Amino acid sequence: MNIKFVVVGKLKEKYFKQGIAEYAKRLSRFCKFSIVEVPDEKAPESMSQAEMDQVMAAEGERILSKIKDREYVYALAILGKERSSEEFAKEIKDLTTYGHSDITFVIGGSLGLTPAVLKRANTQISFGRFTLPHQLMRLVLTEQVYRAFMINEGSPYHK
């Protein structure tokens, strides 16, 4: 099984890198885990809607170029469906049972994801209505994917 994150921007903070590295190491017994970073579009502080759309479109094209046809795609979106950890674990288990061995999670840049990326996604997932920095979201998502495998294994980690 392959789990891939396609994310906009580089991770600069050492403490996020360390946390993700720890969960990536733990995930290695369950799957091949990778993170693909696409460059974020340089943008001024205040932008018109047209400029924002242009930035999102450029980032969206970069994201889509990293997704293959066979991949099952989760787009992280505030308006996506919220799930409990148990529901998420069951979903991952069901996907692998029914032949989806390549699962990709997409985390957009600061402006979010374009309609084209959301359309390509098989489903949208939300971690609530909070706005979180995408660097932190990477760490949270990595932990939740690890938690899903632990739940499916019946491990006490989840308690």
Express each pLDDT in 17-72 by its tens digit.
999 999 999 999 999 999 999 999 988 888 999 999 999 999 999 999 999 999 99
Domains of the chain (ranges, CATH numbers): 2-158 (3.40.1280.10)
Strands lying side by side in the sheet with 72-82:
32-38, 2-8, 102-107, 72-82, 123-126
Q: Is 33 exposed, middle or buried (0-12, 13-18, 19+ CB in 10 A)?
A: buried
Check whether 95 is labelled as a binding-site residue: no
Check whether 108 is labelled as a binding-site residue: yes
Q: In which band, very low, low, confident or very high, does the pLDDT at 9 lie, cut at 50, 70 and 90?
A: very high
Express each pLDDT in 99-125 by its tens digit.
999 999 999 998 999 999 999 999 999
Q: pTM score, two decimals?
A: 0.96
Asked if the model's pLDDT at residue 132 lies above 90, the reply is no
